[in-house]
Chains A and B, each alone.
Chain A
Amino acid sequence: SQKIEQNSEALNIQEGKTATLTCNYTNYSPAYLQWYRQDPGRGPVFLLLIRENEKEKRKERLKVTFDTTLKQSLFHITASQPADSATYLCALYNFNKFYFGSGTKLNVKP
């Protein structure tokens, strides 16, 4: 089965800085990888999808990279704002379904 690792420790950064979150996986390289945002007591909200043959994907202040050699995806939020504070989950697609990571909590301080 797929194992996904996201840093369980919260990431604390200052407003305006770039936040970088990591998603590492073992075993099978997924054809697709997604990033979601989840606020407390709420369902995840889709942010970005990246394919295995794409190195980088951008959307406004968000950037995702996908390195199948390192078995890693990085998620960047530039010019971070307190409203970006949330838990960010990565999800990998293998065997006809998505496997989610536990997420990393991001705290952006004003």
Chain B
Amino acid sequence: DTEVTQTPKHLVMGMTNKKSLKCEQHMGHRAMYWYKQKAKKPPELMFVYSYEKLSINESVPSRFSPECPNSSLLNLHLHALQPEDSALYLCASSQDKLATDTQYFGPGTRLTVL
């Protein structure tokens, strides 16, 4: 099973709401990632978890809060977002975070902030 699942597929939220994005993989991968992608733009790395510990935070605003409850799950908690945060949020996982490790991406969550 080489699948990364993400829920929900679509999310519409107001600027005062609190919501969470969920990502799950059962490939035994020890690295998990959050990316943000706007239309016709490249995926931009937000966070990397390695062995359930936050490894990289690309200076992401604190209104985005990642969490890795266990080796299979990755959450992204959202609070007080801005309309410019509307984007496709992609989760990925890889065996480790080596350059030669293939990243497997989920289908993404399409987020709209009103």
Structural contact, A102 and B100, CB atoms closer than 8 A: no
Structural contact, A102 and B41, CB atoms closer than 8 A: yes
The CA of A93 and the CA of B99, in the complex, are separated in Å by: 6
- Is B69 positioned at the interface, with any CB of A under 8 Å from its CB? no
Q: Which residues of B contact A101 (CB under 8 A)?
A: 42
Query: Number of contacts between A and B (CB, 8 Å)?
Result: 50
Structural contact, B90 and A43, CB atoms closer than 8 A: yes
Residue of B with least CB distance to A33: B99
The CA of A97 and the CA of B4, in the complex, are separated in Å by: 20
| Size class of the contact patch on chain A | 20 to 34
How many B residues, CB 8 Å from partner? 24
Within 8 A of B (CB), among A62-101: 89, 93, 96-101
Residue of B with least CB distance to A87: B40
Q: Which residues of B contact A93 (CB under 8 A)?
A: 99
Q: Which residues of A contact B81 (CB under 8 A)?
A: none
Q: Name A103's contact: one of B42, B99, B107 (CB within 8 Å).
A: B42
Name 17 A/B residue pairs within 8 A (Cβ), A-sorted.
A4-B42, A31-B99, A32-B99, A34-B102, A41-B88, A43-B90, A43-B105, A43-B108, A44-B43, A44-B105, A45-B105, A49-B100, A49-B102, A89-B42, A99-B42, A102-B41, A103-B42
